[in-house]
Amino acid sequence: MRFDRSLWVHVLVLLGVAAVAASAQAEPVAQRQRELVNMVRQDCGSCHGLTLKGGLGPALLPENLRDKPAESLVATVMTGRPGTAMPGWAPFMNESEAEWIVQRLMQGFPPVATHMELSK
């Protein structure tokens, strides 16, 4: 098993961010974080693109999300947006995991390559 250095950089950055975040919720553990990263890149990526630059769905890069309140983004992730193609992802994650995803999206989302490395 070979660990990608960028993974550790991300983990450390994320831990640091988490430490200062005024969130009462617990962080997802490392293994779950990798699953969530993979889910966002691959499955959200079906519409938003693996690079999150957009597809049939809008781009999810930090500059696209900057002006949007985090809580409404979390609500969109959990329950979807009626009248659009955005489904709710509540069957696959809890609220604190959705918050974690939204925080990461607003900062610049971690790459999925780490998942590929780890799965070997």
Partner 1 sequence: MTVRMLGASLLCLGLLVGCAQTPVLRGTGDMGVVIERATGSVQVVEHTGRTSLGSVTGLGDLSHAHVTYSRDARYAFVFGRDGGLTKVDLLTQRIVRRVIQAGNSIGGSVSQDGRLVVAQNYQPGGIKAFDAETLELVSEVPAEYAPGKFSKVVGLADVPGQKFAYALFEAGEIWVTDFSDPRHPQTTRFPAGKQPYDGLVTPDGRYFMAGLFGEDGIALLDLWHPEKGVRKILDGYGRGEEKLPVYKMPHLRGWAMAGGYAFLPAVGRHEVLVVDTNTWTEAARVPLKGQPVFVMARPDGRQVWVNFAFPDNGWVQVIDTPTRQVIKTLAPGKAVLHMEFTPRGEEVWVSARDDNRVTVFDTNSFEVRKILPATAPSGIFFSHRAARIGF
User: Which residues here bind partner 1, judged by CB under 8 A?
Assistant: 42-43, 45-47, 49-51, 53-56, 80, 83, 85, 87-88, 91-92, 112-113, 116, 119
CA 36 from chain center: how many Å? 6
Name the minimum Å distance from CB 43 to partner 1: 5
Residue 28 or 45 having the CB closest to partner 1: 45
Q: How far apart are CA 82 and CA 48, in angstroms?
A: 17
Residue 88 near residue 79 (C-beta atoms within 8 A):
yes
**Nearer of residues 106 and 112 to partner 1, judged by Cβ:** 112
CB atoms within 10 A of CB 98: 22
Decide if 118 contacts 112 (C-beta within 8 A).
no
Nearest residue (CB) to partner 1, 45 versus 110:
45
Distance CA 45, CA 42 (A): 5
Closer residue to partner 1 (CB): 21 or 80: 80
Output the six-digit token pair for 75.
């609500």
